Structure 1
Amino acid sequence: MTAPAATPGPGGPLLLGVRHHGPGSARAVRAALDAARPRAVLIEGPPEGDALLALAADEAMRPPVALLAHVVDDPGRAAFWPMAEFSPEWVAIRWALDHGARVRFIDLPAAHSLATGEEPAGEDAGPRVDPIGALAEAAGYDEPERWWEDVVEHRAAAADPCAPFAALAEAMTVLRETYGDGGHPRDLIREAHMRQQLRSAVKEFGAEVAVVCGAWHVPALAAKFTVAGDRALLKGLPKVKAELTWVPWTHRRLARRSGYGAGIDSPGWYGHLFAAPDRPVERWMTKVAGLLRAEDRQISSAHVIEAVRLAGTLAAMRGRPLPGLAETTDAVRAVMCEGSDVPLGLIQDRLVVGDVLGEVPDAAPAVPLQRDLVRAQRTLRLKPEALERELELDLRKETDAGRSRLLHRLRLLGIGWGEQTRARSTGTFRENWRLRWEPELSVRVAEAGVWGTTVLGAATAKAESEAAAASALGAITALAERCLLAELPDALPVVMRALADRAALDTDVAHLAQALPALARTLRYGDVRGTTTAGLAEVAAGLAERICVGLPPACAALDADGAAEMRTHLDAVHTAIGLLAEDAGAGPDGLRERWSAVLGRLASRETVPGVLRGRAVRLLLDDGRIESEDAARLMGLALSPGTAPADAAAWIEGFVGGASGGGMLLVHDERLRGLVDGWLTSVAPEAFTDVLPLLRRTFAAYEAGVRRTLGELVRRGPAVRTGPGEAAAPGFGTGLDLARADAVLPLMALLLGRGGPGGANDPERPQHPNGTDELGAPGILDDPNYLAGVGK
């Protein structure tokens, strides 16, 4: 295979092999097109996108953007062709539109590529080859990005704009002769289609044709292949019906770490190199300084000057033509970050990669659901952003309530634009969200379009479908909660009927316990949002009654895993009944009283696992249904010598374990602490090894300060009371230890400036008859009342 020419000759097109998203390639493409002035520009991309190319000239189109192709009947099968401002393909498209040249895509149609999918590399396909990496290794570089920067990005403009493309084509020719398809057998089919499109363009426009494609494909386009051979490769390819549109993209998704095959490591840096008119290093350091100043770091112009000088010195020492990203990063770390990698991580995230989000004009094709979503976003002033941000909503405000409804409806549709986080306020009228718009969400919107043309209609249809298909009671109750949060009045009756049917048939107490908390939360949110939930209240009350009847038998004879799971249900039901009891009444026959009776039965039954008995006692204590003396009595029984150590440890875990405030309970209740301490010290050594993991799990959940306080209290020992009416602080005696109090006096005198030679207690210091020193200040250290106070 001979090296192709990069300049147009008699009957030959101009072949411009590029690196996708390479700013140096983009500048070289623009220079070559300016010099050659072709009548047609052919670009690697799906031909179905030809109708969308004119939108690239729209003022509202701002890269990074991507062509999105998806199967009409299966929107989840999709593919993207991303382009940034510094992508050679984008530069070629804009050049052709600005100069009146015809522009076309010539890659394999999306109808075929979506039908076949990406062919994985296997043993028969051979190893996949990274062309840039192979050339960098041949040149003696251990880093492909550094080689590309030295050879392309930092290369001075050549006298012949097409010369660099000829050199790169020659290198790729050698690689193709060595590695063949490089482990990408599907490239042979793609290249056959490209050659067919190239032949058609040459027949129509003659030699005045330029091709912009990956440099890897240039040798295959320049070599001689027969028409019949190419047709044979393309014969019988599977095909699907595909639709294409433009969608916004982000710099973060251009990065290789995002999973995009042709990605780059530093899109923000490359964007800077492409946009900077001059002095790229100086301008970059100014950007870095601005970012660090915004984070309240003290960065001056002297830092910028010194960082630029150091980057240049490093480049000279390393034999590089200009400072690259490695040199600028090292200089920033040394000068602006004081050797720390912490602020450097911020620079990497915000500048080297970046959070730029492109924009697409309204004229771009879109499914009706996408258009309705855009209208809702504008109405609610909720603009999609690539940078993650926190959003706090007050549901009492109409705009915030509308934002909440939109985000909940999108989540129900599987469009995860926002993730709900824990609200800072305990009130139910507030919601906190974490928002970030990812390009892949455009695919999710297209998928959700099968449910309806509006967000409300699609969410309603999706909820009704899930209600009809759900078989688990917990799933339907969770769906009812989501419908209420999303405010879907048409879907809620359908979900309620399905919920009533499932609840009537389900006899598993665990399932009922899983369902009740969601219903309780739904009723609470219904009150806040002003929606009618009378039907839900009736179903919830019925579930609560059935749980009260069936829970005690269900808790008997459970193994350790079953008891741990049931404890979770117990806590959830207790919280739910607390919410429901306000409507159920608090009289003798009220729901809360019936639940307390259930907890009392669980606490006293020996067949119930210890973790559940201990938890029941704790819930009763927290609700004020039993006094601390009763809790201590029950603990004493559970920790008696006749109880197996493992069972006693499980009881302790249920009573004070987890994030239930058990640590503070032990801090403030000396009797309970003493019971636990006495039992723990009495456990036999051989049994202690068995219960240690359970105890560690119990106390490890406490905050460090609580654990430290408990240890200190145990070390001090119990409080001493000299009389029935005298109280003592935990760990301290009731009497005054005068000897220990006297030991404090020298230190206090020193702190107050009254001790030592010349101090108030110095016998040689003059004293006035009225008890003051020579400055007229009272000798307070001679006052017996003061000294008694210090001692206390």
Structure 2
Amino acid sequence: MSAEVTLLGVRHHGPGSARAVAAALEQLKPDAVLIEGPPEADAIAALAADKEMQPPVALLAHVVDDPARAAFWPFAVFSPEWVALRYAADHDVPVRFVDLPAAYTFALAEAPSGVPGGTSGEAAEAEGGIGDPIAALAEAAGHDDPERWWEDVVEHRAPDGDALAPFAAVAEAMTALRETAPAGPRARRDDLREAYMRQQIRAARRAGHRRIAVVCGAWHVPALQTMPTVAHDRALLAGLPKMKTQITWVPWTHRRLAQHTGYGAGIDSPGWYHHLFTSPDRPVTRWMTGIADLLRAEDHPVSSAHVIEAVRLAETLAVLRGRPLAGLGETLDAVRSVMCDGSDVTLALVHDRLVVGDALGEVPDGAPAVPLQRDLARLQRSLRLKPEAAERELVLDLRKDLDAERSRLLHRLRLLGIDWGAPARSAVNSTGTFRETWRLHWEPEYAVRVVEAAHWGTTVEDAACGKAARQAADATDLADLTGLVEQCLLAGLTGALPAVMRALADRAALDTDVAHLAAALPALVRALRYGDVRGTDATALDGVARGLAERIGVGLPPACTGRDADGAAAMRAHLDAVHAAVGLLPPAAGDDPGDHPAERWAAALHSLAAREPSGGPATGVPGLLRGRAVRLLLDEGRLDSAEAGRRMGLVLSPAGAPADAAGWIEGFLAGGGALLLHDTALLGLLDDWLTGVPGDTLIDLLPVLRRTFSGLEAAVRRTIGERAAAGPLGTGAAAAAAPPEKLDEQRADAVLPVLALLLGLPDVTTAPLLPRIPRQPTGRNT
């Protein structure tokens, strides 16, 4: 008996094709199902029937010796291939994947799209093929929108008596297209793939199967209808290179299906396609109801009347446009008009959440996986951190054991290059080191990165330790090493710290560049602070951090000498970072207060502030750095405002260079300009200098001055402008002699009842914090 082979040409990830495949299989009752896909997946095809398998999922194949070389074959509920897989599992029918093996695909350097059927449309056209057969058919039919044409003729087509009729029509259309397709690299790949498919069809016949259903891309149907000789196909496949590969199932997302590049599938509306496939009964009405639920959850006023009118408008638009059923375009136009009040912003929410969607699939525990992947899955379950496609914020309190373990896991994964969690700023205003905020977002390609990281170790901790030790051995920059130390402490990698600390000590002893030392110190100090709240032993870091701080203080003034504008700006950033870091260094046990690094740092700033201006002697320092040093000393209370005013007066004197003075002002005001409002002497000095700069010189200084004052707070700029508009501010000396503004004691005392209420004090007249302030009656100003 000759076997009957039925070719079901489909559009990948098309809900109409999926429904047609389901109907055709029910009509054919095949005893073998062949599906376009990598044959390596035959061993794990049965997992499709597992109750824990929830699409969207994907087959992941990678080269054993080079896991970065990987490809995905995604499947959604509405994928025809998935429907065929489930039919075979539910009816106990043998199923085989019949595309060119991944072992050959990787060796032949196939395009990395991973989408069954080949390269993207643009790449295919560049390689001499037809970019999008659907678009070509739509153009031949006189339609300018291939998606709309395909929806009308396939997706919205009502089933009729013969389930195989649509496949015959598609095959005829593809045969006509292939007759005009030019030759090129893509055609060569298609020849190899189709030769292998034909060999698998012959193998199914030899195995004794009599009713064989082949589910493949419609493009391949003409090449499989007419069988050339066996020798012809063997000659095509002879001598093909191959590589050792592994394959497994991994979760996938609708959002990844919607991407046209990388590992995407190029589907514009996977959420809509999922709805069409799962809601064949009144799809438009159910779709509008789902949109209404979404908008209500986002606090948009949407009623049942909105749903009714939106459905009516969508159906009316479909009639006016000559379509058999309202499609995605009609429904979105109706939603924009009726539910979104014409707002594209609200419609974008619908598109993001429903048209595309955030669905994330699940795979059973029995799927093949490297030991590192299994350990990660175990940790995700024990720490109650379920991967999700939708982005969400996670706030951790590191004083709690569970949150501390979660933090360590996320930091370890980041060190391994798996950025499932990214540090974020918390909405809660907190400067404590016990709180961390993460933004979690799981991407399917992290499965590849887990496989890549598997050679570092079999558990997440071992792998992170192994990679940290390798990075320490390969690091050439001191800042990279200190950043690595911080990562190790945050991740709790005590096993990697000895090797990293040895590399850090060796590198720090040899590095004499103050800029390198300054870039390295902040990370060490942050690590010391986190060590306390996490219970990590960071004792070894204290000596290294203090040594770096001392060396920075000694070498700071010479390192700031003779720098140009760009070098001065870079050093100013180092000044701010080191100043903040030194202030956070904890005092060492038994040390004299005068030996604290902050004291030596202050001495270095004093020395820097007193240096000659650049352009003068060899010890010249740019005004930007001298002004910044004065401001840091002023903010720390190591200089009073009178001394700061005296130094400003010297810099802004007529004997000084205007460019150097402008730089000094920029460095001085970089920490905020509110002090100009509280110290009229400084504001007067600045006003005198600005009004005395010659016009030609002022034009040259405008970029620096604009950059300086644009960095001030808006309220400060406004108040300074109001004071300048009120009239001359006078000389600095006159301003300094001016009496201070009189305090309105009555208005100040009016706040006392509210303050007492906030502090929980029974009576402001008896409060220990305010013993000398008489109680004021509560007035309307309170």
- What is the TM-score with the length of structure 1 in the denominator? 0.88
Matches within 5 A, 1:753-772: none
* Worse overlay, 258-267 or 130-139: 258-267
- Of 427, 437, 441, which aligns to 2:446? 441
2:645 alignment counterpart: 632
- Of 47, 50, 53, which aligns to 1:55? 47
Match status 1:334 vs 2:369: no
2:75 alignment counterpart: 83
Q: Secondary structure at the match of 1:689?
A: helix
Q: Kindly provide the CA deviation profile for residues 353-393 of structure 1, in whole angstroms up to 9, marking residues without a partner as x.
A: 00000000001010000111111111111110000000000
Partner amino acid, structure 1, of 2:696: E
Partner amino acid, structure 1, of 2:579: H
1:374–1:597 Cα change, 3 Å: same
Q: Kindly provide the CA deviation profile for residues 229-261 of structure 1, in whole angstroms up to 9, marking residues without a partner as x.
A: 222222222211100000000000000345446
1:614 alignment counterpart: 627
Match status 1:167 vs 2:169: yes
* Worse overlay, 116-125 or 411-420: 116-125
1:515–1:545 Cα change, 3 Å: same
Q: Secondary structure at the match of 2:214?
A: strand
Output the CA distance in 1 between the equivalents of 2:68 and 2:704: 46
Shift of 1:528: 1.3
* Worse overlay, 287-296 or 639-648: 639-648
- Of 312, 323, 329, which aligns to 1:309? 312
1:213–1:713 Cα change, 3 Å: farther
Q: Kindly provide the CA deviation profile for residues 676-695 of structure 1, in whole angstroms up to 9, marking residues without a partner as x.
A: 33322332222222222222
1:604 alignment counterpart: 610
Match status 1:116 vs 2:111: no
1:786 alignment counterpart: none
Output the CA distance in 2 between the equivalents of 1:722 and 1:129: 76
1:283 alignment counterpart: 286
1:541 alignment counterpart: 546
Matches within 5 A, 1:568-583: 568-580=573-585, 582-583=587-588
2:23 alignment counterpart: 31
Q: Secondary structure at the match of 1:82?
A: strand
Percent identical: 67
Q: Is the 8 A contact 1:13 1:211 kept in 2?
A: yes
- Of 374, 379, 395, which aligns to 1:376? 379
Q: Mind listing any 5+ residue stretches in structure 1 that lack a counterpart?
A: 1-8, 733-792
Output the CA distance in 2 between the equivalents of 1:266 and 1:203: 41
Output the CA distance in 1 between the equivalents of 2:40 and 2:20: 27
Matches within 5 A, 1:440-459: 440-459=445-464
Matches within 5 A, 1:138-537: 138-180=140-182, 184-185=186-187, 186-257=189-260, 259-260=262-263, 262-423=265-426, 424=428, 425-537=430-542
* Worse overlay, 614-623 or 713-722: 713-722
Q: Is the 8 A contact 2:60 2:71 kept in 1?
A: yes
1:116–1:680 Cα change, 3 Å: farther
Output the CA distance in 2 between the equivalents of 1:477 and 1:403: 23
Output the CA distance in 2 between the equivalents of 1:325 and 1:723: 72
Q: Mind listing any 5+ residue stretches in structure 2 that lack a counterpart?
A: 112-118, 613-619, 745-782
Shift of 1:183: 6.1
Output the CA distance in 1 between the equivalents of 2:27 and 2:125: 45
Q: Kindly provide the CA deviation profile for residues 153-184 of structure 1, in whole angstroms up to 9, marking residues without a partner as x.
A: 11111221111111111111111111146762
Q: Kindly provide the CA deviation profile for residues 297-349 of structure 1, in whole angstroms up to 9, marking residues without a partner as x.
A: 11100000000000011111111111100000000000000000111111111
Partner amino acid, structure 1, of 2:39: P
1:749 alignment counterpart: none
1:123–1:267 Cα change, 3 Å: closer
Q: Is the 8 A contact 1:13 1:209 kept in 2?
A: yes
1:723–1:362 Cα change, 3 Å: closer
Match status 1:646 vs 2:656: no
Q: How many residues align?
A: 722
Q: Is the 8 A contact 2:522 2:578 kept in 1?
A: yes
Q: Secondary structure at the match of 2:324?
A: coil
Shift of 1:600: 0.9
- Of 620, 632, 636, which aligns to 1:623? 636
Output the CA distance in 1 between the equivalents of 2:273 and 2:178: 28
1:66 alignment counterpart: 58
Partner amino acid, structure 1, of 2:47: L
Q: Is the 8 A contact 2:681 2:736 kept in 1?
A: no
1:265–1:602 Cα change, 3 Å: same
Output the CA distance in 1 between the equivalents of 2:684 and 2:137: 74
Q: Secondary structure at the match of 2:588?
A: helix
2:761 alignment counterpart: none
Partner amino acid, structure 1, of 2:554: V
- What is the TM-score with the length of structure 2 in the denominator? 0.89
2:600 alignment counterpart: 594
Q: Secondary structure at the match of 1:381?
A: coil
* Worse overlay, 647-656 or 474-483: 647-656
Q: Kindly provide the CA deviation profile for residues 376-428 of structure 1, in whole angstroms up to 9, marking residues without a partner as x.
A: 11111111000000000000000000000000000111111000112441100
* Worse overlay, 352-361 or 644-653: 644-653
- Of 552, 556, 560, which aligns to 1:555? 560
Output the CA distance in 2 between the equivalents of 1:722 and 1:259: 66
Output the CA distance in 2 between the equivalents of 1:127 and 1:104: 28
Shift of 1:550: 0.9
Q: Is the 8 A contact 2:681 2:735 kept in 1?
A: no
Q: Kindly provide the CA deviation profile for residues 708-747 of structure 1, in whole angstroms up to 9, marking residues without a partner as x.
A: 33322322246799997853379x9xxxxxxxxxxxxxxx
Q: Is the 8 A contact 2:680 2:735 kept in 1?
A: no
* Worse overlay, 108-117 or 366-375: 108-117
Q: Is the 8 A contact 1:581 1:591 kept in 2?
A: no
Output the CA distance in 1 between the equivalents of 2:129 and 2:689: 65
Structure with larger Rg:
1
Output the CA distance in 2 between the equivalents of 1:66 and 1:497: 44
Q: Is the 8 A contact 2:310 2:334 kept in 1?
A: yes
Output the CA distance in 2 between the equivalents of 1:189 and 1:717: 86
1:564 alignment counterpart: 569
Q: Is the 8 A contact 1:128 1:183 kept in 2?
A: no
1:159–1:722 Cα change, 3 Å: closer
Q: Is the 8 A contact 1:581 1:592 kept in 2?
A: no
Shift of 1:41: 0.7
1:123–1:263 Cα change, 3 Å: closer
Partner amino acid, structure 2, of 1:109: P
* Worse overlay, 147-156 or 24-33: 147-156
Output the CA distance in 1 between the equivalents of 2:736 and 2:171: 99
Q: Secondary structure at the match of 2:393?
A: strand
Partner amino acid, structure 2, of 1:302: A
Output the CA distance in 2 between the equivalents of 1:326 and 1:623: 63
Shift of 1:589: 3.4
Partner amino acid, structure 2, of 1:500: A
Q: Secondary structure at the match of 2:465?
A: helix
* Worse overlay, 513-522 or 584-593: 584-593
* Worse overlay, 511-520 or 418-427: 418-427
Q: Secondary structure at the match of 2:585?
A: helix
Q: Is the 8 A contact 2:609 2:626 kept in 1?
A: yes
Q: Is the 8 A contact 1:670 1:718 kept in 2?
A: no
Output the CA distance in 1 between the equivalents of 2:204 and 2:302: 56
Output the CA distance in 1 between the equivalents of 2:237 and 2:713: 66
Q: Is the 8 A contact 2:74 2:265 kept in 1?
A: no
Output the CA distance in 1 between the equivalents of 2:77 and 2:331: 23
Q: CA RMSD in A?
A: 2.3
Partner amino acid, structure 1, of 2:643: D
1:471–1:130 Cα change, 3 Å: same
Shift of 1:202: 2.5
Shift of 1:225: 2.3
